[in-house]
Chains A and B, each alone.
Chain A
């Protein structure tokens, strides 16, 4: 009886401590690039983006073969995409498509106090056996981006570029014009950023790995849809 009381008391102390830990912002891990007040429903387990990161547990090894991160369908999609676009040129699209238009455009983006202008050739390809289309951007350097649309505003965007001497891929799935599904970045074989979106909001597990050593820099979980872009802090 006495032992049981002790166990209950110790348990109560742990519970109180845990409650204090969750409510005390100073003791809670946070995602540093989001405003603190918005993170009440985000569980952050690792937050070390300004260091080298922490050794990554096996279950979160940042490889496409890791079924804890990628479903079989996602693995298949991510594996096939580089091959699908590897021979694409301004007048030759992915297999099964025909060129329907080719034009040049300038894309101007404001970044802090700078204006970044990118000159692109844009080639539109139509699949011959479906309504799906490919809109492929060529910026004249190493970057090629494809917006694959099964029907307007459904599909994905895949960006191919070079990073640290490796082939790299940023990939985002889109539904009804909003990010929906995977949002990932790979450098070579290794994933460096991983999250899922639903109707434009982050949901579920969110990982970032250090590209230099594959350490885990961020492990978090959005318990409910979270408008990441709305709460993102801007550098100053």
Chain B
């Protein structure tokens, strides 16, 4: 937050300098507004003084982060706003005690009942964050500014991580199905987890109904019937079965990079996951499988992943996490 004030020079000594507005309590006004405030003091004996106050500080919010990445991040600013009576003689201005917080607007929104304003902003942005209260003389503060990061974690279980098996260098024949199939793990698996630092109730406000159930949960796509995996992989076929999400598995990831995503990406990923849960469609070994849905979820979250169909290649081609 930055401050600027148009403070009449001839009274600045008397009233003290902004941000100090209440010498008694030591409180600070990071934002001070006086519109048409006319202060009069009568010292007796015809000795009077009149001062008009005009001030309007401006606040800016620096979001931080790299603008080039193009991510939209969730920011929460907590405001307070209090109406001010006319300054007392001797220089101090005094708060009236009228809490204006929830009557105010900031960042283009009504301040919430908890004093918070939630907003999604581009990384690296600098935006006006001045609070506007329905009063002519008030002080305000942004007591807390928090940026919430969101993430997509991708998990891949590869049958032979790195296209390697024990003994390939030493003349031992490769195992059955190498490198796409391994007995016990089949062709491997790919799945994902979406998570955020933001409170779930904010996610619920933005996401589709029930979509937040997939927050902080490892989830993947699979099939309900038995599939003849090995035969299909060895003969180039692509069997189908009814799809399902979540898909129960016990695979151990051989690689699991984490990607930072924007808040809209988080919502997009959660909504996509919920949509697939509700309408899982048909699983197709080469064209609509666990890797495909991991790619689709990442795309909904704003992340482009390699267009592979099998976990072995997919795991090998995944970009590193950030």
Contact = CB atoms under 8 A, between A and B. Distances in A.
Nearest to B232: A50
A114 interface: yes
A163 B159 CA distance: 11
A229 interface: yes
Given A33-B177, A111-B179, A170 B230 contact: no
- Most chain A CB within 10 A, of B162, B176, B178, is at B176
A172 B179 CA distance: 20
B239 to A, nearest CB: 10
A159 B166 contact: yes
B311 to A, nearest CB: 12
Contact of B234 (A192, A193, A229, A235): A235
B180 interface: yes
Interface string A210-236: 111000010000000000110011111
Nearest to B165: A170
A233 B164 contact: no
Contacts of B173: 179, 183, 228-229, 232
- Most chain A CB within 10 A, of B167, B172, B183, is at B183
Contact of A145 (B169, B180, B227, B234): B169
Contacts of A157: 167, 170-172
Contact of B163 (A33, A112, A164): A112
Interface residues of A, number: 44
Contacts of B226: 50-51
A127 interface: no
B233 A145 contact: no
Contacts of B168: 109, 111, 116, 118
B163 A116 contact: yes
Contact of B183 (A114, A147, A210, A232): A210
A161 B161 CA distance: 14
Contacts of B52: none
B97 to A, nearest CB: 65
B30 to A, nearest CB: 55
15 contacts: A33-B234, A49-B176, A143-B166, A157-B170, A157-B172, A168-B166, A179-B173, A208-B176, A208-B183, A210-B183, A228-B173, A235-B178, A235-B181, A235-B234, A236-B233
Given A185-B166, A236-B234, 6 more contacts: A50-B186, A53-B183, A112-B179, A143-B166, A147-B170, A172-B171
Interface of B: 162-164, 166-173, 175-181, 183-186, 226-231, 233-236, 250, 252, 316
Interface of A: 32-33, 49-51, 53, 107, 109, 111-112, 114, 116, 118, 120, 137, 139, 143, 145, 147, 157, 159, 161, 163-164, 168, 170, 172, 179, 183, 185, 192-193, 208, 210-212, 217, 228-229, 232-236
